[in-house]
Structure 1
Amino acid sequence: MTTMTDTPTRPTPPNVSIVIPIYNEQENLPDLVAKVGEALLPTGRSFELICVDDGSRDRSAWVLRDLAAKTPWLKPRYLMRNYGQTAALQAGFDAATGKYVATLDGDLQNDPADIPALLDRLDNDASVDMISGWRKDRQDKAVSRKLPSMIANRLISKVTGVTLHDYGCALKVYRGEIIRRIRLYGELHRFIPILAAEAGARITEVPVRHHARTRGVSKYGIDRTFRVILDLLLMRFMMRYLHRPLHAFGGVGLWLLVPGLAALAWLLGVKLFGHDIGGRPLLLAGVMLSLMGVNLIGLGVLGEVLIRVYHEPEGRDQYRLREAPEGDV
């Protein structure tokens, strides 16, 4: 007979889940895990460290396995192959159960000792849902990394309206419900603050420490800049037109269709007066503009149908509510 004491109890979720994507960081892992412990254990907070090995080609997975055998709060995840930083972060977010979620890079350039202060800020300030680190005194020696990063930060802030000094800083802390509202794919890990803002997060930025890399090799190259620009175009579209694609495609379509039809109407009048229009470049331009305009408007209508399919059958909300604010204004 089953008694009340026989009923299994669910483990209490930790106060904070720390998510770190790992790729070829075998030399840094022992110090990384140790520094996270040194930072969090004295605070008395319950925590879990989720290191996601993103198909490393060195012995990172074996090092994580051995560290986890003697570290109860280390919970590694191992991806089947190298999927990229975005997928590794999403795997960590899927495994995270904490009230708060913090992220770091695995190269020890971020300082885990900064995490407790950021968590305290979330505890004491209900008006903030996400804190993004700002590497104010960045220790990267290569100008080829600093200058493109500075340009990218200003461009992203200008285009999206989410103003941050340092989008590239991996040290960030979130309320868990914010992370569970967003999904990452492609290479959107660079734009998590924008996705969080779209999900309703109130964001602030705090200066954090930054250290020069002493071991391992940087995984970033100049080609990253071009990928950022392409992803930024996607983010701009998602922020302005995700729920109204007809306004984006249909607007451009009308700008093409109206002059195209006007050109064809004028040529029709010329033809009615007995003039030959077969060899006129304006005829080809009018036809092309009209066809492109119709195609874009049709694409916008198709997008509207897909948005309704996305929202209506599964009851996904287009908005979220907050609890009533506490305290005085």
Structure 2
Amino acid sequence: MSKQANSLSVVVPVHNEAGNVALLHGKISDVMCNMSLEYEVVYVDDGSTDGSLAVLEEIAATDPHVRVVELSRNFGQTAALAAGVAYSRGEVLALLDADLQNDPADIPRLLAKLEEGYDLVSGWRRKRRGEAWPRCLLSRLANALAARLTGIKVHDLGCTLKVYRRAVFAHLPLYGEMHRFIVAYAALAGARIAEVEVGHHPRHAGRSHYGLDRTLRVLLDLLLVKFYAGFATRPQQLLGLPGLLALALGLIFLPLALLLALLGGGRQRGRWIDIGLLGAGGCCGWGLLSLQLAVLAEMLMRTYHESQKKRPYVVRCLVAGTERSECW
């Protein structure tokens, strides 16, 4: 059982949500006032151009629990979340969107689940409101594919509403658009994951920042997640094994084609020699190229880990005698 957290940071990335943030903050404040723990709300203005920053500054001027982080331009949701986490101070982090589709009233239930001994609790938007059916269908298919490829039994990887123990973020790559796969990366690091059904509401004001093209980007990011899951510390096996197979096929193909050429005659002989040379040359060339790429990938991965002193393991806790030190 993990120790109970004493402080909470609610991190909210904001991009052109001037019509939502005041009402959202009222809802967050109502929830936090009924909870017996220290809290702060960190809003990250991600290059808004609609006056969202002015509204956030007014909120910060009247509420000492609020901190506003202004980014120099629009960097995207993943970068905004990373900035919010970096400038937060709570032992536990709660993340949610600023569009009022996530309900702050669900935060206490996620925290209660976290105290059961989990490291991360993710929201599940089982009944999604205010979204067109093609987008909902594609989202469900993408989530099902992600669950199948990663082996993580979570229904809704894309739900921003989640709570985490701060130590989880020490093992998460937050760049690009990887916020969609925070749960997957945390699970790969050994985090104990739970999922809680949460409410989902139509957008109150403004317009959605996501289109159907987002699903295609999710599929590309999913390939990277799969690579991390299976080959992050041994990339040579991803390219090296197919390269060896292709090289072996090339070495087998040439003498086989020459043998068939000897058994044939006339045009057949020349045709088999041409096929043998082309087939063997193609397989051997592709095999040698794959082996070279495998060596380069291994060198790059070793440089990545060693230059940043990354370790191939995560320590959850240390036990010495009767003392237990939580590292996670």
TM-score w.r.t. the length of structure 2 is 0.88
Given candidates 177, 187, 190, the residue that maps to 1:187 is 177
Q: Distance in 2 between matches of 1:224 and 1:314?
A: 31
Q: Distance in 2 between matches of 1:145 and 1:203?
A: 26
- Which AA in structure 1 matches 2:304? Y
| Residue 263 (str. 1) matches residue 253 (str. 2) | yes
Are the aligned partners of 1:267 and 1:277 in contact in 2 as well (CA < 8 Å)?
A: no
Are the aligned partners of 1:90 and 1:183 in contact in 2 as well (CA < 8 Å)?
A: no
Are the aligned partners of 1:86 and 1:188 in contact in 2 as well (CA < 8 Å)?
A: yes
Q: Distance in 1 between matches of 2:155 and 2:234?
A: 30
Report the 3-state secondary structure (helix = DSSP H, G, I; strand = E; otherwise coil) of the residue aligned with 1:163: coil
In the TM superposition, what is the alpha-carbon distance from 1:215 to its structure 2 partner?
1.0
What residue ranges of structure 1 are gaps of 5+ in the alignment?
Answer: 1-12
Q: Which residue of 1 aligns with 2:296?
A: 302
Q: CA deviation digits over 1:105-135, x for unaligned, max 9? A: 1100111111122213223x12x11100111
Report the 3-state secondary structure (helix = DSSP H, G, I; strand = E; otherwise coil) of the residue aligned with 1:180: helix
Are the aligned partners of 1:256 and 1:289 in contact in 2 as well (CA < 8 Å)?
A: yes
| Residue 24 (str. 1) matches residue 16 (str. 2) | yes
Q: Which residue of 1 aligns with 2:244?
A: 254
| Residue 157 (str. 1) matches residue 147 (str. 2) | yes
Q: Which residue of 2 aligns with 1:198?
A: 188
Are the aligned partners of 1:54 and 1:81 in contact in 2 as well (CA < 8 Å)?
A: yes
Q: CA deviation digits over 1:279-301, x for unaligned, max 9? A: 71442232122111111111112
Q: Which residue of 2 aligns with 1:229?
A: 219
Equivalenced residue count is 312
In the TM superposition, what is the alpha-carbon distance from 1:102 to its structure 2 partner?
0.8
Q: Does the C-alpha gap of structure 1 residues 285 and 235 become closer, same or farther in structure 2, counting only changes over 3 Å?
A: same
Q: Which residue of 2 aligns with 1:173?
A: 163
In the TM superposition, what is the alpha-carbon distance from 1:306 to its structure 2 partner?
2.4
Q: Does the C-alpha gap of structure 1 residues 156 and 314 become closer, same or farther in structure 2, counting only changes over 3 Å?
A: closer
Percentage identity across paired residues of the two chains: 43
Are the aligned partners of 1:20 and 1:50 in contact in 2 as well (CA < 8 Å)?
A: yes
For residues 43-54 of structure 1, the aligned pairs below 5 Å read 43-54=35-46
Are the aligned partners of 2:257 and 2:275 in contact in 1 as well (CA < 8 Å)?
A: no
In the TM superposition, what is the alpha-carbon distance from 1:165 to its structure 2 partner?
1.2
Are the aligned partners of 1:26 and 1:58 in contact in 2 as well (CA < 8 Å)?
A: yes
Given candidates 43, 50, 57, the residue that maps to 1:58 is 50
Q: Distance in 2 between matches of 1:219 and 1:94?
A: 24
Q: Distance in 2 between matches of 1:313 and 1:133?
A: 35
RMSD over aligned CA atoms reads 2.3
Q: Distance in 2 between matches of 1:313 and 1:143?
A: 46
What residue ranges of structure 2 are gaps of 5+ in the alignment?
Answer: none
- Which AA in structure 2 matches 1:293? G
| Residue 320 (str. 1) matches residue 314 (str. 2) | yes
TM-score w.r.t. the length of structure 1 is 0.88
| Residue 208 (str. 1) matches residue 216 (str. 2) | no
- Which AA in structure 1 matches 2:130? D
Report the 3-state secondary structure (helix = DSSP H, G, I; strand = E; otherwise coil) of the residue aligned with 2:317: coil
Are the aligned partners of 1:101 and 1:179 in contact in 2 as well (CA < 8 Å)?
A: no
Are the aligned partners of 1:14 and 1:48 in contact in 2 as well (CA < 8 Å)?
A: no
